[in-house]
């Protein structure tokens, strides 16, 4: 059993707590939050867990093997670094840190000490996203033309991060995992509709080598919930609609075929419209799958799918998007690091 200290029992913390509690690999040893009301709630649900409002108690507790950080982003680096320096494995909610420099320092520290550093890019562990990666990497779709995501709803306005850092990080992590490529430039636009608050609507275009393009539409101020990703290949295309209760992933045998052009204005693009197919998906809760993976990484020293580098790649894209958004879409190059 791996003993867990959880810091943060606010919005996402209770989901982590429940999954760690139900997992056969972990023991939910300590829960920390600065809000006494939340600690009381945690105590009622998990009377066997120790409770504290001082996270230092967790760092110095010899009994704790791994620390889970579910606090606001601006605290991630400080808490994670302390955890690593005290010899604990670390799982951090997304995004991993506020800056790419911070992410690099955490990666180095974890590497030096041989500890697992993992970021909670939850969607990567869903059956839907894992199936999509399998289809893309297996060549089922042919060459990928575009990745187009919309993630909008009447969401919780954040004060410390904008909608890109809050929502687009999900799409970026899904894109990173399923396409396995990094963009070379980003153009982003957005707007804030509450004075002195961060942008609540944003649009990102990510340019890749060749003609691959990705786009992400995020919005905290939408009347309906949309969570739809289209992935267009030159052989097949995917629609991943996360709102659907079942058949979340549909594969369309649709596309175009291009013949050599003999003369101008002669239509030589032909259209294919074939069957649609919705593969059966593993419906296990993503966090459960993620925790099994986290446990295996800790026990066997395996490299995490969503390791520090995955967290770093996401933060680099978020940084570039933020810079571009401040200049109304002016493209920002991404180093090919």
Q: What is the DSSP string of 34-59?
A: S-HHHHHHHHHH-TTSEEES-THHHH
The interface with its own copies within residues 75-94 (CB under 8 A) comprises: none
Total residues at interface with its own copies (CB under 8 A): 74
Least distance from C-beta 310 to its own copies, angstroms? Answer: 25
Between residue 225 and residue 284, which ones bind its own copies under the rule CB under 8 A?
225, 230, 232, 234, 237-239, 243, 245-247, 250, 252-256, 258, 261, 264-265, 267, 269, 271, 273-280
Nearer to its own copies, 1 or 194 (CB): 194
Least Å from the CB of residue 188 to its own copies: 8
For its own copies, the closer of residues 50 and 279 by Cβ is 279
Write phi, then psi, for 263 (nearest 5 degrees).
-145, 160
Residues 290-329, interacting with its own copies (CB under 8 A): 324, 327-329
Let me know: does 95 contact 311? Beta carbons within 8 Å: yes
The whole-angstrom separation of Cα 337 and Cα 319 is 14
Residues 6+ apart with CB under 8 A from 217: 149, 150, 151, 152, 202, 203
* Region 127-146 residues binding its own copies, contact defined as CB under 8 A: 145-146
Phi, psi for residue 28 in degrees, rounded to 5: -85, 90
What x/- string results for residues 208 through 227 when contact with its own copies is judged by CB under 8 A?
---xxx-x-x-x-xxxxx--
Measured from the CB of residue 283, what is the shortest distance to its own copies in angstroms?
Answer: 9
Distances (CA, A) of 115 to 3, 6, 300, 301, 311: 15, 17, 11, 8, 16
Q: Which is nearer to its own copies, 107 or 186 (CB)?
A: 186
By beta-carbon proximity to its own copies, the closer residue of 104 and 221 is 221
Q: How far is the CB of 324 from its own copies (least distance, A)?
A: 7
User: What is the closest distance, in whole angstroms, from the C-beta atom of residue 77 to its own copies in the complex?
Assistant: 18
Interaction between residue 148 and its own copies (CB under 8 A): yes
Binding mask 35-74 for its own copies (x = CB under 8 A): ------------xx--------------------------
Question: What are the phi and psi torsion angles at 92 (to 5°)?
Answer: -120, 135
Cβ closer to its own copies: 182 or 305?
Answer: 182
Closest CA to 19 of 122, 117, 144: 122
Nearer to its own copies, 300 or 335 (CB): 335
Residue 42 has phi, psi (to 5 degrees) of: -60, -40
CB of 167 to its own copies, least distance (A): 14
Q: What character string, x for contact with its own copies (CB under 8 A) and - otherwise, covers 168-207?
A: -----------------x-x-xxxxxxxxx---x-x-x-x
Nearer to its own copies, 177 or 203 (CB): 203
Spatial separation of the C-alpha atoms in residues 129 and 286, rounded to whole Å: 10
Secondary structure (3-state) at 155: coil
**Is residue 222 packed enough to be buried (19+ CB in 10 Å), middle (13-18) or exposed (0-12)?**
middle
Question: 250, 276 in Cβ contact below 8 A?
Answer: yes
Is the Cβ of residue 37 or residue 245 nearer to its own copies in the bound state?
245
Cα–Cα distance measured from residue 145 to residue 210, given in angstroms and rounded to the nearest whole number: 9
Q: In whole angstroms, how close is the CB of 297 to its own copies at the nearest point?
A: 25
């Amino acid at each position: 059993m791996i003993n867990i200290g959880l810091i943060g029992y606010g919005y996402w913390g209770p989901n982590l707590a429940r999954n760690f509690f139900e997992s056969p690999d972990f023991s939910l040893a300590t829960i920390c939050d600065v809000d006494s009301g939340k600690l009381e709630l945690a105590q009622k649900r998990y009377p066997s867990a120790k409770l504290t409002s001082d996270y230092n108690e967790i760092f110095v507790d010899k009994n704790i093997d791994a620390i889970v950080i579910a606090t606001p982003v601006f605290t991630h680096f400080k808490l994670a670094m302390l955890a690593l320096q005290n010899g604990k494995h670390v799982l951090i909610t997304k995004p991993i840190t506020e800056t790419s420099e911070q992410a690099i320092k955490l990666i180095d520290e974890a590497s030096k000490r041989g500890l697992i550093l993992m970021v909670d890019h939850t969607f990567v562990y869903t059956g839907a996203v894992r199936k999509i990666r399998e289809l893309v990497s297996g060549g089922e779709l042919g060459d990928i033309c575009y990745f187009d995501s919309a993630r909008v709803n009447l969401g919780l306005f954040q004060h410390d991060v904008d909608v890109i850092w809050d929502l687009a990080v999900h799409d970026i992590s899904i894109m990173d995992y399923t396409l396995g490529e990094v963009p070379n430039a980003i153009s982003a636009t957005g707007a804030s509709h509450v004075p002195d608050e961060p942008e609540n609507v944003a649009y990102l275009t990510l340019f890749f080598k060749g003609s691959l393009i990705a786009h992400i539409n995020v919005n905290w101020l939408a009347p309906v919930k949309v969570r739809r990703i289209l992935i267009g290949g030159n052989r097949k295309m995917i629609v991943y609609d996360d709102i659907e209760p079942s058949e979340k992933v549909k594969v369309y045998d649709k596309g175009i075929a291009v013949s050599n052009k003999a003369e101008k204005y002669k239509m030589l693009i032909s259209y294919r419209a074939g069957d649609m197919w919705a593969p059966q998906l593993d419906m296990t809760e993503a966090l459960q799958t993620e925790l099994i993976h986290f446990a295996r990484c800790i026990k066997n020293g395996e490299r995490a799918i969503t390791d520090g580098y995955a967290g770093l790649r996401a933060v680099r894209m978020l940084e570039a998007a933020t810079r571009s958004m401040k200049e109304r879409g002016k493209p920002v190059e991404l180093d090919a690091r």
